[in-house]
Structures are given as structure tokens and as C-alpha cells.
Amino acid sequence: MRREYDCIVVGVGGMGSAAVYRLADRGVDTLGLERFDVPHARGSSHGSTRIVRLTQPEDPSYVPLARAAFDNWRELEAATGRDLLTTTGSIHAGHPDADIVPDARASLDEHDVGYELLSGEEVSERFPGYDLPAEYRAVFQPDGGFVDCERAVSAHVEAAHAEGATVRARERVTDWRETPDGVRVETTKASYLAEDLVVAAGAWNGDLLPSLADRLTPVRRVMAWLQPERPADFQPDTFPVFSLQGREGYAYGFPTYDVPGFKFGREPDPDEPFGAADPVDPDGWNRDPTPRDEAFHREFAETYFPAGAGPTLRLRTCMLTESHDGHFLLGPHPEYDSVHVAAGFTGHGFKFTSVVGEVLADFVVDGETDHSVDLHRTSRLVETERTADD
């Protein structure tokens, strides 16, 4: 067994698999270590689909990153021969007082991205699977859609293999430390040396990077699949992916794909168990959906997508990791010269995995990146601490 590499990537989920590929593609001798299977359903890179969109109400600076991610998804499709990206258009909708529509428009206007502004009634007329109140407003952007998340992880790993990378699954990292020449990584099976370390371990990042743990909160989320009463209205060519800020809270969803059913997720009620901000232990949480989860999701579907609210077909839990300020932690570790971080993607990071891998490779190889990541740099943690001290 080889024990020395140029770079080790811990975590081979969405972000880590992309990093292994992009590093190997740059000629870096790379080892990826994954504690579970590749791919697996223990974190936040499973469930068939993840939304991709140019519309970025989170902040306009996400738009260039989203554009680069779209290009990289298509490049990965060409490199692997896998179909990964499906275009449906995207809807961002909300009640009249919600911020989601003005924020979505601001992100698109700043970067000259075309879109349509629609009323709730116009959305429902154009896309009969929807039943939005007439006073709601929506932004329709035609380039949005979804990526097949498990297939994307597999494609990144296959592309990494083609470039000479090594990936070892079912091998948990137990410790690491900096050395004069880089890092030493201890696992349940071996000890490895490398010049650089990338930590992209999802909800386990806080265990591996204790100084960042108070900036990262693993939380539980649920996805539901219901049988549409009118299946033709919930297909990729008739049903855009959506992000909806209703008066009852936030939700997102997809057309039928890969497995039966109209898929959607809903932000938890903060007053319920496993509420919006309730942390979970990545190694000790209950992964089984509850009857309350089912009723909570069905209530949403019956309100806004009644033609999709047939019998329950599937419920799945996932675990995402929220950052302290809602933006990613991406780049060199503030305390260690040889360590690079990809963490805190806050439930909307998977769409960017294809470009995050490239950003991480830039940091490892060049020490810098040309991509639009100023909002996400880990260096802001040091600035925040300095401000607090002042």
C-alpha cells in the first residue's frame, strides 16, 4: 500500500469527489479517503437530485460561481459520458412581503441574466402542477434545473481515477497533524503523508477541525416524494424546480426523476423537534423520518401543489451543515499552512460542487483562485475575531 501522496482529501462526497478529480487533473498525486461508501447516503449528497440555478437570492456574488459550475458540469458530462444536468427552468416565488423575489431579481439584474417576472396566477397557468395564490410573485429563469447528485459523485470519482487518483472508502480518518513537510493523516487502516490536506468531510468537519466547530452546525432535514395525481404535470419538461417562500415558511422541489414521485423538502418548524436550528450529532442522530415529518410535508404539498399531493411514496432524511453566517467556508485554514477547508455549505452548496473542486485545486496548487469566492474565504474568520477583540 502506498503511504505518500502530494495531497490527501478527507471526505469523498460532493465537494471531496470534485476536489480529488480537479487535483488529479492538475497533475497532483491525490488520495481521497471516505469513511463510508462512494457514494453514500449518510450526509447531504444523496436523494437523486439537487437544484442548479443561476438565480441566487443568497447574494449576487454567487452568480459568477454558478455560471462556472454550469460549465464544469457540462465538461464533466463530456469527460465521463454520463448525463448529469437536466434543464427545467427555475421558479423563485414568494408572498408579497417575502424577500426572495426582490433578492432573486437583484442577483440576476446585477449580472445581466434574463428572466421573467410572473404573478402566482401566471405561474399556475403556465405550469399546471403549481397552484400558487394569485398575489404571490415569482421569477422564472429558464436555465435552472437539477443535477443527479449520486451520479455526479460517481462521475467525479471516475474522472479522478482516469487521471491517476486513488480513492479509499470505508477508511475513517482518526487524526491528523501538521509536520515540517506537510501533514500526517492517521486512519483506521494506515498512516499517510502528504504535502497538503483538504478537509471536505461534511457534518464531520467540526470533529476534524475543532477550531472551526463553533462556526459549523450539522442539522437534520427531510425530503418527501408523493405520487402526483396528474403525473404529466410533474415531468422535467413541464415542471420547473422551485424555491418558495410561503407564509408558512420556505420549501424547494423538483419534478419526478429517477424514482417515482414529486420530490420536495421543507424547512422545519423551529418550534418542533429537529427545528430549523436544532443541531444533531453526526454519529448519533435518528435517521428515520417520523409521522410528524410526513404530515408537515403533506400540508405544504396540499397547499401549493395539490395535484402532486397523492399517496406518500418515500421519505428520506439528510444531514446538512450550516455555517455561522450562511456562506461557505472555503480556502486555506486560518491556522495551518498545509490545510484547506470546504465546509458549511448550508443546504445549497451541491450545485457548486463542480466548481468548488476547481477552487480547492487552485488553492492547493497556486495558493489563490480567480473564482468569485471572496464572500466564502476562511480568512474572514480571522477578520471577525480581530473585530471582536477590538
Question: What per-residue confidence (pLDDT) applies to 384?
Answer: 58
C-alpha cell at 17: 469527489
C-alpha angle with apex 196: 193 to 198, nearest 5 degrees? Answer: 110
CA-to-CA separations, 388 to 336, 340, 344, 351, 369, in angstroms, rounded: 22, 24, 21, 33, 28
Q: Are 141 and 88 contacting, i.e. CB atoms less than 8 angstroms apart?
A: no
Residue 84 pLDDT class (50, 70, 90 cuts):
very high
Please give the distance of CA 73 from its chain centroid, rounded to a whole number. Answer: 14
Q: How many CA atoms lie within 13 A of 301 on its CB side?
A: 27
Residue 13 has pLDDT above 60, yes or no: yes
**Identity at 362, one-letter amino acid code:** D
Residue 286 pLDDT class (50, 70, 90 cuts):
confident
Residues 173-193: tens digit of each pLDDT: 999 999 999 999 999 999 999
Q: How many CB atoms lie within 10 A of CB 49?
A: 25
Q: How many CA atoms lie within 13 A of 209 on its CB side?
A: 30
pTM of the model: 0.96
First to last CA, the chain: 51
Q: Are 85 and 77 contacting, i.e. CB atoms less than 8 angstroms apart?
A: yes
Average pLDDT in the 269-296 region? 86
DSSP secondary structure letters along 320-386: EEEESSSS-EEEE-SS-TTEEEEE--TT--GGGHHHHHHHHHHHHHHS---SS-GGGBTHHHHHHHH
Residues 108-162: tens digit of each pLDDT: 999 999 999 999 999 999 999 999 999 999 999 999 999 999 999 999 999 999 9
Query: Percent of the chain at pLDDT above 90?
Result: 94
Average pLDDT in the 315-334 region? 96
Q: What are the chain's domains?
A: 4-45+150-216+325-389 (3.50.50.60), 86-145+218-318 (3.30.9.10)
DSSP secondary structure letters along 203-249: GGHHHH-GGGGGGEEEEEEEEEEE--SSGGGGSTTT--EEEEEETTE
C-alpha cell at 302: 396540499
Question: Peptide bond before 102: cis, by omega within 30 degrees of 0?
Answer: no
Question: What per-residue confidence (pLDDT) applies to 390?
Answer: 47
Residue 297 has pLDDT above 80, yes or no: yes
Q: Are 277 and 218 contacting, i.e. CB atoms less than 8 angstroms apart?
A: no
Residues 207-247: tens digit of each pLDDT: 999 999 999 999 999 999 999 999 999 999 999 999 999 99
Residues 40-68: tens digit of each pLDDT: 999 999 999 999 999 999 999 999 999 99
